[in-house]
Chains A and B, each alone.
Chain A
């Protein structure tokens, strides 16, 4: 026998490299992993930002004087000129919150027509009244000071970003593992690897490892983006954040292995994964707090893995938590991941 060249390559390393190369050479994958969450954050962040305080819109019937108009413009109230017919229609449809009636009666008083049952109508009355009273010379008898809340940490975007990070890690793990397994199965690649003596666990390790190696990059892209454009901070420990990210990804990768263990085609596994992930998108508090759901559902919601991950991410990013504080989340994630992995391995089909 000729002398042996250096040690043969390591199968886990090679299988991991296969996954990483496939990801890096598939532009679509890169988009879903990095581009999509950033786009979602932009869309939601901008939508939230642009909303600001709602402008007050009122209708003016013919005969409203320029003094009143000037006073309203100064108070940033929008005024629509309407005739009697259209005025009734606009008010009914809520396109104007209040109608200004020209001065009438013995004292020539300005008229407000509005529906007091509507919150925005009452707001409009208060704003319009204050504006015209001030213009007429009234000063506020009691001095007040407004303290508006714009500080980082309590805005919607601060709530949203940890949820998006959790959601993205979940999707990445589920699709990056389950879909890949089924794809390899339908293409007979699993069978081929098995015929070469690949060890089954080596493939599963590699799929997990490839995911773990992508997590830091994924976290970095989303968090850096959120910080630069929305000043979203990580107030707690980065180690705790990373622990939640890794535990969550591993847990979802295990669930993915279970979901993919027998599926014979990618349609089946796609359906199965939507079935698993969709309900959690809705109830786990990615986009809004799950405390909006009925009290009776709270324990169930809190036991879901995506909820654990969202909660863990939020305590770290918003409340400044450390490793100890996220332990409950880690436990929930492990309680899902370990049995799912055992189940997946038990029922796994290679062809």
Chain B
């Protein structure tokens, strides 16, 4: 459409956020926290970009700085080619936001709430279209407080879609939802993208990132650890396969060194649930070796499985931790 090269949807350079520790008279003193530590990102238009990281890795802080809701301590943010601090209202009209947690007014009906959000935009999407977007037509007269978790999340996304945004930010859109609700939300994201929108989402669900995102930035402790398409990230993992092993009663009876010492095992990590993940290239041989090790040590096998490597494994390999361990 536009012959000129349009600026990227999002550009961050050296983005940094330090939350000050308590220095006020009323607050308890606390150490300051470096939530985001020098982040460089470039997100293209039409892309679905995922920020993947455990709790506290700085995802929310990052997106809120991009959204202009939080002032960066250092670094630069450009959204749709503009900086915050100019005509902010105009810029906000072009973006849609679903915060990680917002308690929408419970005593309003769905239609009343959407009408309220529509009043903030010069050219809002029609109410009927919004309700259809998120499949809440039947709930339009229900109080927000009476909706289920999944319906509420869809309503939050509808509020973000009111201004027909060019870019949509979703901060952990499916955390705490059951698989069916999660798939509904994924459907919403897909149809928004089909209309040409750009999506930035944060998640700590691998499956979500793999399904939805064109590119994923893995962040930990406020730093970018790896960036690429899900396939690229997985391909970079040694082996590309995973053997999962559960030892009867006590997973800690095995040591990581013992497993790593096996010839066909690259990496070995024990999850909080007591499951060993072994990064391997030849799953059958690795499984046989692992079973032999168990027998030597007189340990019983609870479960053995092999699968292709996922983003979760990439994260474990990069940080030594599981995403959900926090």
Contact = CB atoms under 8 A, between A and B. Distances in A.
A196 B67 contact: no
A188 B121 contact: no
Nearest to A22: B107
Interface in A1-33: 4-5, 8-11, 13-15, 17-18, 21-22, 25-26
Most central of A26, A189, A199 by chain B CB within 10 Å: A189
Nearest to A5: B126
Interface of B: 26, 67, 69-70, 88-90, 92-93, 95, 97, 99, 101-105, 107-108, 112, 115-124, 126, 143, 159, 162-163
A189 B119 contact: no
A18 B99 CA distance: 20
B103 A11 contact: no
Contacts of A11: 119-120
Given A8-B124, A14-B119, A21-B112, A195 B97 contact: yes
A193 interface: yes
Contact of B92 (A5, A189, A191, A197): A197
A95 interface: no
A189 B122 contact: no
Nearest to A188: B102
Nearest to B68: A195
Contact of A192 (B102, B121, B163): B102
A195 B117 CA distance: 11
B112 A196 contact: no
A18 B118 CA distance: 13
Most central of B88, B118, B162 by chain A CB within 10 Å: B118
A110 interface: no
Contacts of B102: 187-189, 191-192
B103 A189 contact: yes
12 contacts: A8-B124, A9-B118, A10-B119, A14-B119, A17-B112, A18-B112, A191-B69, A192-B97, A195-B92, A196-B97, A196-B159, A351-B70
A26 B106 CA distance: 11
A88 interface: no
The 10 closest A-B pairs by CB, nearest first: A187-B103, A197-B92, A9-B119, A14-B119, A195-B97, A11-B119, A25-B107, A192-B102, A196-B120, A197-B89
Contact of B107 (A8, A26, A191, A194): A26
A193 B67 CA distance: 13
Contacts of B123: 4, 8
A198 interface: yes
B103 A188 contact: yes
Contact of A22 (B105, B117, B159): B105
Given A8-B123, A25-B107, A192-B102, 13 more contacts: A8-B121, A22-B105, A22-B107, A22-B108, A189-B103, A191-B99, A194-B69, A196-B121, A196-B163, A198-B120, A268-B26, A351-B69, A351-B70
Nearest to B101: A188
Contacts of B103: 187-189
Contact of B122 (A8, A14, A195, A268): A8
Contacts of B69: 191, 194-195, 351
A196 B99 contact: no
B108 A14 contact: no
Contacts of A14: 115-116, 119
B67 A18 contact: no
User: How extensive is the interface on chain A, given as a class?
Assistant: 20 to 34
Nearest to A186: B103
B117 A196 contact: yes
A18 B108 contact: yes
Contacts of B119: 8-11, 13-15
B132 to A, nearest CB: 14
A198 B118 CA distance: 10
Most central of A4, A26, A198 by chain B CB within 10 Å: A198
A195 B67 contact: yes
Contact of B99 (A9, A13, A22, A192): A192
Nearest to B163: A196
B108 A21 contact: yes
Given A8-B118, A8-B121, A197 B93 contact: yes
Contacts of B124: 8
Given A9-B118, A199-B89, A189 B107 contact: no
B272 to A, nearest CB: 29
A20 to B, nearest CB: 11
Nearest to A197: B92
Interface in A160-205: 187-189, 191-199
Nearest to A12: B119
Contacts of A17: 112, 116
Nearest to B24: A262
A4 B88 CA distance: 25
Given A21-B112, A351-B69, A189 B105 contact: yes
Nearest to B97: A195
Contacts of B120: 11, 193, 196-198
Contacts of A15: 116, 119
Nearest to A196: B120
Contacts of A22: 105, 107-108
Contacts of B115: 9, 14
A22 B109 CA distance: 11
B24 to A, nearest CB: 10
A203 to B, nearest CB: 11
A4 B101 CA distance: 33
